Amino acid sequence: MLLNGKEFSKKLKNNLKIEVENLKKETNQTPGLTIILVGNNPASEIYVRNKVKDATNCGINANLIRFDETISEQELIDEVIKLNNDDTCHGLIVQLPLPKHINEQVIIDTISPDKDVDGFGILNKGKLFSGLESIESATPKGIMKLLEEYNIDPKGKHAVIVGRSNIVGKPMAIMLLNKHATVTICHSRTENLSEITKQADILVVAIGKPKFITKDMVKEGAVVIDVGTNRVDDKLVGDVDFENVDPITSYITPVPGGVGPLTIASLLENTVIAFKNAINFKN
Ligand code: GUN
Is the preceding peptide bond at 97 cis, omega within 30 degrees of 0? yes
pLDDT in tens, 26-59: 999 999 999 999 999 998 999 999 999 999 999 9
Ligand 1 lined by 136 (C-beta under 6 Å): no
The CA distances from residue 219 to 28, 37, 83, in Å, are 53, 41, 48
The CA distances from residue 243 to 150, 198, 236, in Å, are 21, 18, 14
pLDDT in tens, 119-156: 999 999 999 999 999 999 999 999 999 999 999 999 99
**pLDDT for 283:** 75
Q: Which of 47, 65, 143 to mutate to test the pocket of ligand 1 (most atoms within 8 A of CB)?
A: 47
Mean pLDDT score, 4-22:
98
d(CA 176, CA 220): 21
Ligand 1 lined by 95 (C-beta under 6 Å): yes
d(CA 111, CA 36): 11
pLDDT in tens, 221-238: 999 999 999 999 989 999
Question: Which phi-psi region, left, alpha or beta, contains residue 12 (left: φ > 0; alpha: ψ -120 to 50)?
Answer: alpha
Residue 282 has pLDDT above 90, yes or no: no
Ligand 1 atom 11, closest CA = 96
The CA distances from residue 216 to 77, 213, 248, in Å, are 47, 8, 10
pLDDT in tens, 161-171: 999 999 999 99
Element (H, E) at 186: strand 182-186
